Amino acid sequence: MTQSPVKLAVFDCDGTLVDGQAPVCDAMEAAFASAGLAAPPRHAIRQIVGLSLPQAIRYLAPDAAEETVGQMVTAYKDSFRTARERGEVAEPLFEGMADLISALRADGWSLAVATGKSQRGLMHCLATHGLTDSFASLQGADGHPSKPHPAMLEVAMAEALAIPANTVMIGDTLYDMEMAVAAGVRPIGVSWGYHDNATLTEAGASAIADTAEELRALIHGAVP
């Protein structure tokens, strides 16, 4: 008997699974303060969610010296860690996402995460919501090039024993869509995150969901 091919749905974390914009903005403002720089407006900070931390800071502070960027990376991590230890980091799941994850698993899908978060931050976030065991592969910024490089998706597919034709990438930023295109998997956008629908479409999104229910239908329609 031939085994059915693995169907893999890979999710971004911040802006797709969870709403983590406030702690990200707080930590980035602390990073800029540590270097004596004026922080960019929060709407600009939200646009870099999805990139790895060094690349995000480089994008927001293009004239900063490498040493300064390194200092800001450390300050960001310290600020975020302190806030988490104080119980001040709130990263609630978006409406319907817990039910969607359960439904996809019941439907026979393997699930993975590909995120700009550190592995430590990702594990803490998923554990908070009791979701750690829901995913066959967890890929964070540690040890990978930043999105939109396809490395995280390629490793996720390898670990889940999936192929590009049977894999979808779900995300809220152009970096997620471009990563999916680079990896040869189908990109599906969500409208409740950090980048608008026009940006997602231009970056390659095959469709954009407005609700978790719509997303489930789009995921099922993406793979035969």
Looking at the annotation, which residues are catalytic? 12, 14
Give CA 41 to chain center in angstroms: 21
Question: Long-range CB contacts (< 8 A, 24+ apart) of 101-110?
Answer: 101/131, 101/134, 102/134, 103/216, 104/9, 104/216, 104/219, 105/134, 107/220, 108/4, 108/7, 109/7, 109/8, 109/9, 109/219, 110/6, 110/7, 110/8, 110/9, 110/136, 110/160, 110/162
